[in-house]
Structure 1
Amino acid sequence: MTRISHMTLEICVESFEDAKIAADHGADRIEYCSALAVGGLTPTPGALARIADIAVPCFVMIRPRPGNFVYCASEIETMTREIALARDAGAQGVVFGASREDGSLDTDALHLLCDAAAGMAKTLHRAFDVTPDAFVALETAVDLGFDRILTSGQQNTAEEGCALIADLIARAAGRIIILPGSGVSAANARTLRAKTGAAQLHASCKRAAQPGEEGRVATDARAVRALRRAMDH
């Protein structure tokens, strides 16, 4: 089968060891988090300190707590400090979002966070998926200076949301990267590319938890390799 142009594979992980596994088995980039079982939180300072030992670029999740993305001023201040820690640790990018009570993007908060992340790559995370108008949110993200939007097309999985993802990619017209995520695997990677035209994919490639690992989301090397192969052919 003819090899197609290289697609970028981003793997989200919740530990340094998982980041190494993902990097060693085909990830082009790491979304570096803690607590993936609650959607991903900011990594600990100790985990951040190990970024330099990861062989591929790391984008750090900036999320101070579980739950919604409606943050008070104190939480936004915490997030700006976490961005500074990620920068000092050598992260190439950060991943964050902030919402108003109605689900629309909190532009005031996001301006502050984007200013704090100046010079770093910036991903708008799945706060995008709770916005009432995806196309308005797309333009807001472009105006704020985000480099990419992580989205499942406002559905439970990227495969279910592929029609909206395709529309977003078309509307973005190269101004911002649309990064499909949620439920991405070797089984649907080619379908997602064919139906959306995406050049990048985001996945967790998690394995089943072992006894004593309740709440743990661990990276499966075989799943990463399989997804990499599916994206490359």
Structure 2
Amino acid sequence: MDKTYQLEICANSVLSALTAQEGGADRVELCQNLDVGGTTPSLGQVWLTRAGLSIGVHVLIRPRAGDFLYTDTEFLEMKSDVMFCKEAKCDGVVIGMLLADGQVDSLRMAELIELARPMQVTFHRAFDRCRDPFEALEAIINLGCDRLLTSGLKNSAMEGVETIAQLIKQANGRIEVMPGSGISEQNITQIAELTGATSFHSSAKIEQRSGMDYVGGEVGGMGDTVWVSAKEKIRQMADMLKNR
């Protein structure tokens, strides 16, 4: 019997992606720099992850931190990254672009989606900075995106459950609406109940201390800790969803 629920893990390294698979995730969203909301991973990271995983590999296409209003040069970079992901036989890409007025940048999104096919396309949390979520949802559906990742325009999915539930009702099966941001083993079943969602996005991250014996100098922000996905957290969420 097919699983009713899907668990996507936001993996910021090859190690985290492998951990996600071992923990029972259905797919990974591969990225770097989680501390700024994620950016496009390196080419080596994409190749090694694709080679090492049998579950779905979706790659974040976000050239920089900050807003989602991109220059022509940044757009060319995004197109190049999409083409590379297709060459690497990834299963999907995760993208999002807005206009200066807060509407979805449908024109340039359409170019990226056409370039990406036959890969799946997820519209990411740029959605959470749009001016009208219900108008934006229709634009994203009309573009043909397979999935929408959202926290319901709040800092966490738990805070945004009411809006997420409204979006799922409006979508009516035309697109998968996937809650993300702050989802953990402590709240995933509650969010499922409150929203009606069947697909969930979590980083399941923990801090890992540096293995360095020698720590010299007084420069901060280098060599202290890194974020990694925790297999125990992933396994617990996967089991919770499986047993619903």
Q: Percent identity?
A: 38
Q: Residue 82 in 1 paired to residue 92 in 2?
A: no
CA separation in 2, counterparts of 1:215 and 1:78?
30
- Structure 1 residue 213: deviation in Å? 5.0
CA separation in 2, counterparts of 1:35 and 1:213?
15
Q: Residue 232 in 1 paired to residue 242 in 2?
A: yes
What SS is found at the alignment partner of 1:178?
strand
Q: Is the contact between residue 181 and residue 202 of structure 2 (CA under 8 Å) also seen in structure 1? A: yes
- Structure 1 residue 26: deviation in Å? 1.1
What SS is found at the alignment partner of 1:193?
helix
RMSD: 1.5
CA separation in 2, counterparts of 1:107 and 1:180?
22
Q: Residue 216 in 1 paired to residue 214 in 2?
A: no
Q: Is the contact between residue 70 and residue 100 of structure 1 (CA under 8 Å) also seen in structure 2? A: yes
- Structure 1 residue 116: deviation in Å? 1.2
- Structure 1 residue 218: deviation in Å? 0.8
Q: Residue 124 in 1 paired to residue 123 in 2?
A: yes
CA separation in 2, counterparts of 1:213 and 1:70?
32
Residue in structure 2 matched with residue 108 of structure 1 by the alignment = 107
Residue in structure 1 matched with residue 216 of structure 2 by the alignment = none
- Structure 1 residue 107: deviation in Å? 1.4
Q: Is the contact between residue 76 and residue 113 of structure 1 (CA under 8 Å) also seen in structure 2? A: no
Q: Is the contact between residue 9 and residue 25 of structure 2 (CA under 8 Å) also seen in structure 1? A: yes
- Structure 1 residue 215: deviation in Å? 6.5
Instruction: Judge which range, 100-109 or 188-197, deviates more.
Output: 100-109
Residue in structure 1 matched with residue 8 of structure 2 by the alignment = 10
Instruction: Judge which range, 112-121 or 149-158, deviates more.
Output: 112-121
| Aligned pairs for 1:33-52 within 5 A | 33-50=31-48, 51-52=50-51
Residue in structure 1 matched with residue 165 of structure 2 by the alignment = 166
**CA-to-partner distance for each residue in 1:23-60, whole Å, 9 max, x for gaps?**
01110000011111211111111111121221211001
Structure 1 gap segments, 5+ residues each: none
What SS is found at the alignment partner of 1:208?
strand
Task: Specify the code of the residue in structure 2 equivalent to 1:134.
Answer: P
Structure 2 gap segments, 5+ residues each: 211-221
Larger radius of gyration: 2
**CA-to-partner distance for each residue in 1:7-38, whole Å, 9 max, x for gaps?**
10000111111100010111000001111121
**CA-to-partner distance for each residue in 1:51-73, whole Å, 9 max, x for gaps?**
12212110010011111111011
**CA-to-partner distance for each residue in 1:140-163, whole Å, 9 max, x for gaps?**
001111001000000111011011
- Structure 1 residue 120: deviation in Å? 1.1
What SS is found at the alignment partner of 1:166?
helix
| Aligned pairs for 1:23-102 within 5 A | 23-50=21-48, 51-102=50-101
Residue in structure 1 matched with residue 151 of structure 2 by the alignment = 152
Instruction: Judge which range, 106-115 or 130-139, deviates more.
Output: 106-115
CA separation in 1, counterparts of 2:100 and 2:130?
10
TM-score between both structures, scaled by the size of structure 2: 0.90
